[in-house]
């Protein structure tokens, strides 16, 4: 995201503020959530007026930008498609309380259902890695059943260094670990405070939304972004029609957050590849490339296929279409 900082205002002419100085600077972040961004602006008593901050443009950040979308899923299950591996500061030497057992989804203090450290409490940790980036949406935790093996405070660390801490109740009931949605390829849980120590550990259910990394996205020009309405299709949007596209071309678009509400009244055709008369934003959500909150989207133009097959995914079904030319 680029921001244009305007400072040292001098005068106003016909409602336009003239600035003595302005300078661009860039904020790099892996993941921006939709919604308002609040920036406190404080007046400097030595300067007449306020410093102004104006949002100027959206940029792709990093060498491998990602978009996250689709239905919330459990991403921590060792038998699932997202899990890659896990590690821990130690594991109890009985063979059935390893770190992967604490991610199995059973959420109970029994064999093959919970991680237990080997004589650790404070500073014990467990780390899980994913095969691809996922946007973490929710984490559930259950402490060990014995009162002398319960944790009081846990830190959750993401692969970009962000951290969140949660204070836990002195119980073995399932509790939430409060986190903000973050896209990451790993999570590390560290025990920072305990009620008592023996073989502390626990079980975790981690939920998230899959992210898709697309090479070449960073070359798309944010200034040429097309704002879409929920009903807009490739063949009926005026901004798209004015442009000339060939097979393999990409363009950037922006979808409003209300489009998911149209899933029962608008038809889309295909799965992963959609016909030109499919509403673009709804097709993007169906494919899993766009969250239900809308946002920026990168679209690839491809030649038509003989048949666009129906599929039920991400909460609704697409339709089958035969012989669409584009």
Q: Which residue has the tokens 């899933």?
A: 263
The rounded distance, in Å, linking the Cα atoms of 310 and 87 is 41
Give the 3-state secondary structure of residue 149.
helix
Burial class (CB in 10 A: 0-12, 13-18, 19+), 54: exposed
Pairing status of strand 250-255 against strand 226-227? parallel
* Cβ contact 250:299 at 8 Å: yes
The rounded distance, in Å, linking the Cα atoms of 200 and 150 is 6
pLDDT of 118 higher than 80:
yes
Q: First-to-last CA distance in the chain?
A: 33
* Cβ contact 127:186 at 8 Å: yes
User: What's this model's pTM, rounded to 2 decimal places?
Assistant: 0.52
Domains of the chain: 2-57 (no CATH), 73-212 (2.60.120.260), 220-322 (2.170.130.20)
Q: φ, ψ for residue 257 (rounded to 5)?
A: -80, -10
> Average pLDDT of the chain?
79
The per-residue pLDDT for 85 is 94
The per-residue pLDDT for 12 is 59
N residues, the chain:
326
Span 40-86, pLDDT tens digits = 555 544 444 445 544 444 433 333 445 677 778 999 999 998 999 99
- Residue range 133-153: mean pLDDT, rounded: 94
Q: Residue 325: which pLDDT band, with cuts at 50, 70 and 90?
A: very low
The per-residue pLDDT for 211 is 78
Span 172-210, pLDDT tens digits = 999 999 888 888 889 999 999 999 999 999 999 999 988
The rounded distance, in Å, linking the Cα atoms of 39 and 10 is 22
């Amino acid at each position: 995201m680029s921001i244009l900082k305007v400072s040292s205002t001098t005068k106003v002419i016909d409602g336009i503020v003239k600035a003595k100085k302005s300078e661009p600077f860039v904020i790099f972040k892996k993941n921006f959530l939709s919604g308002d961004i609040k920036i406190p602006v404080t007046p400097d008593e030595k300067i007449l007026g306020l410093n102004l901050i104006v949002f100027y443009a959206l940029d792709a950040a990093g060498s491998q930008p990602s978009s996250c979308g689709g239905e919330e899923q459990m991403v921590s299950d060792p038998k699932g498609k997202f899990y890659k591996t896990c590690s821990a500061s130690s594991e109890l030497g009985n063979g059935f309380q390893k770190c992967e057992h604490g991610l199995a989804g059973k959420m109970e203090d029994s064999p093959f259902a919970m991680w237990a450290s080997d004589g650790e409490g404070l500073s014990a940790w467990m780390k899980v890695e994913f095969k691809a980036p996922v946007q973490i949406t929710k984490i559930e935790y259950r402490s060990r059943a014995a009162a002398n093996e319960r944790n009081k405070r846990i830190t959750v660390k993401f692969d970009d260094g962000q951290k969140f801490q949660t204070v836990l109740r002195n119980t073995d009931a399932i509790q939430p670990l409060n986190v903000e949605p973050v896209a990451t390829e790993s999570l590390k849980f560290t025990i920072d405070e305990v009620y008592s120590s023996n073989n502390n550990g626990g079980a975790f259910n981690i939920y998230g939304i899959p992210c898709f990394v697309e090479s070449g996205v960073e070359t798309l020009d944010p200034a040429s972004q097309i704002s879409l309405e929920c009903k807009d299709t490739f063949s009926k949007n005026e901004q798209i029609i004015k442009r000339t596209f060939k097979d393999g071309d990409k363009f950037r678009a922006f979808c409003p957050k209300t489009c998911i509400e149209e899933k029962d009244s608008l038809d889309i055709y295909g799965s992963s590849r959609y016909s030109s008369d499919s509403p673009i934003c709804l097709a993007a959500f169906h494919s899993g490339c766009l969250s239900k909150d809308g946002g920026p989207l990168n679209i690839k133009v491809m030649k038509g296929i003989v048949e666009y097959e129906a599929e039920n995914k991400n909460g609704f079904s697409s339709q089958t279409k035969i012989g669409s030319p584009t």
